């Protein structure tokens, strides 16, 4: 079997952690990404990066937002929903 280059192997390993993607599907997805135009691949990468950089759960209402507190958060309440969402969001 042909040796898989390290960057491709790393991507396939990462993609394989996504729900519904086994090793073969992850490899197919990675090969598809290799065929995408560079701008599209970079846009996807930027989107992934920004998930962690700019999105989080509002500390007041638990909604997914790009600011904390989010613009529509009530002044008090929602703390329970927030921590429940946070727990489910980080479990893997
Ligand atoms: Zn909020």
Question: The domain 6-52 belongs to what CATH superfamily?
Answer: RecR Domain 1 (1.10.8.420)
Tens digits of residue pLDDT in 77-90: 555 555 555 555 54
Residue 4 CA to ligand 1 centre (angstroms): 45
Residue 49 CA to ligand 1 centre (angstroms): 22
Given the structure tokens 């613009």, which residue do they identify? 71
- Who contacts 23 (Cβ-Cβ below 8 Å, separation ≥6)? 12, 16
Helix, strand, coil share of the chain (percent; to 5): 55, 5, 40
Strand partners, 65: 56
pTM: 0.63
Tens digits of residue pLDDT in 15-69: 999 999 999 999 999 999 999 999 999 999 999 999 888 998 999 999 999 999 9
pLDDT value for 2: 79
Q: Where in the chain is the domain with CATH 1.10.8.420?
A: 6-52
Radius of gyration (C-alpha) of the chain in whole angstroms: 18
Ion ligand 1: residues, CB < 5 A:
58, 60-61, 63, 69-70, 73
Compute the half-sphere exposure of residue 79: CA atoms within 13 Å on the CB side of its CA.
Answer: 3
């Amino acid at each position: 079997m042909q040796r898989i280059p390290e960057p491709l192997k790393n991507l396939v390993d990462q993609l394989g952690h996504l729900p519904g993607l086994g090793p073969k599907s992850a490899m197919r997805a990675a090969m598809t990404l290799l065929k995408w135009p560079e701008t599209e691949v970079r846009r996807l990468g930027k989107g992934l990066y920004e998930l962690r950089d700019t999105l989080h759960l509002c500390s007041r209402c638990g909604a997914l937002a790009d600011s904390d507190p989010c613009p529509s958060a009530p002044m008090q309440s929602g703390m329970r929903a927030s921590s429940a969402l946070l727990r489910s969001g980080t479990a893997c």
